[in-house]
Amino acid sequence: MTIRHAVAPGHDGPTFAPARWDRCKLKYVASIEGGCTPSKSNPDYWSGAIPWVSPKDMKVRVIRDSEDHVSEEALRDTSLRLIGSPVVLIVVRGMILAHTLPVAVTAAPVTINQDMKALRSRVGVSTEHLAYFLEGTATFVLSTMVEESAHGTKCLRADVWQDLSVLIPNLDEQRAIAAFLDRETARIDALIDKKRRQIELLHEKRAALISHAVTRGLDPNAPMKDSGIAWLGPIPAHWLIKRFRFDLTSMEQGWSPQCDNSLAEPHEWGVLKVGCVNGTRFDESEHKRLPDDLEPRTVYEIKPGDILMSRANTTELLGSAVLVRKVRPRLLLCDKLYRIRIDPRSLDPEFVVYAFGSHATRYQLERDATGASASMKNIGQDTIKGLLMPRAPVDEQRHIVRGLNALCERMYQVVAKVCASIDRLREYRTALISAAVTGQIDVRQEVA
């Protein structure tokens, strides 16, 4: 294959291309359309069946529908326009641009919001080839064309990305590249999905083992008794059932001022985000910097030994809890988190966190949560205080914790290996797309 040097490295796109390929700026390869958000105060605008695509829908490569829909009235009364299919959709504004460039192809007419752009290929350029080209150059685009607004939002600079140099083989070769990538990325995606399912099964197994341990104990031969609670079932005969309030020493929610959209330096104050408890371990990097003109409320500073629980979140994440084992100074509790402190003479803190994640506790939290939308549920302090929790003697709680810690550590190691293999597959997928759309590999014989 003949290769030629096309432009200076890092100028406006891929440096090398096959001599037979053309090169043209994106704005000449495709027409570009934008979108908007009809007024949310007019429910008639949101009562239709027309897909309204926003960045949250860009989780698949082919868009056939969307989470939100608009009406014909919205098209008639606002600047929103129906965009015929097929077009390439990309996200041009949002924090997602900090780590990826979402690209999709439509399979049905859609409307889009203002954080999106629709690219309609001109004659001689296939929609699929353009989509794959943008995917293949995503790393370059993100590293050279994304800037941060005054409010901290990531966005593609329109004056730069529309001048992105697009490599264009003849139409037959474009179709060959798309067919090759359709086939190969489908294989890679199937492997990734299989590994994701493996991780899901490991998480389900972990949750089941924890639930069993904190409600039945670790001794399979222990005498059991009926708890008298239908959703709980039998518990060890020497265990008690008590409401959480009897061993609770304090419970509070914090403070959420308007913060900067950046991390605090070690000497600066920061306010935790609710995401700090979304995993199985405390993530102190989930915080925002407190502005210099705000005095920190030091009473909310996080300390080792604190139990943190989300009080407002999606149904799935509501009630997520972690034990703070160590933490940098100057991090403050936010008002979407509860800080819980308990009497260690009767409850082990690690046992409590495991119990909060059990099926029995999750049942109570989800049953008593308030809020009409599944995307934002709330749990009050009375719900937490009223939780019915099986209690082993505190020495047995610590024995259970040691057993669960060892078990979970082994499972973390397995999950980490699977996640690493997923990352390698994603890197290979990206490299394969990039190589195909920039001519580093000739795929014509692969699909002949």
With both helix axes pointing from N to C terminus, report the angle between 171-216 and 127-136 in degrees, rounded to the nearest 10. 60
Dump pLDDT digits (tens) for 241-281. 999 999 999 999 999 899 887 899 999 999 999 999 998 89
Which domains are assigned to the chain? 3-168 (3.90.220.20), 240-391 (3.90.220.20)
Per residue in 1-22, pLDDT tens? 333 333 333 445 665 678 889 9
pLDDT bin (cut points 50, 70, 90) of residue 148 is confident
Residue-wise pLDDT for 190-201, tens only, equals 999 999 999 999
Q: What is the mean pLDDT of residues 214-235?
A: 95
* Higher pLDDT pick, 140 / 182: 182
Residue 386 φ/ψ region, left for φ over 0, alpha for ψ in the -120 to 50 degree band, beta for the rest: alpha
Per-residue pLDDT at 129 exceeds 50: yes
Give the span between the Cα atoms of 36 and 41, in whole angstroms.
Answer: 15
Work out the mean pLDDT of the chain and round it to a whole number: 91
d(CA 277, CA 253) in angstroms, rounded, equals 14
Pick the closest to residue 55 from 127, 109, 117 (CA basis): 117
Amino acid at residue number 22: D
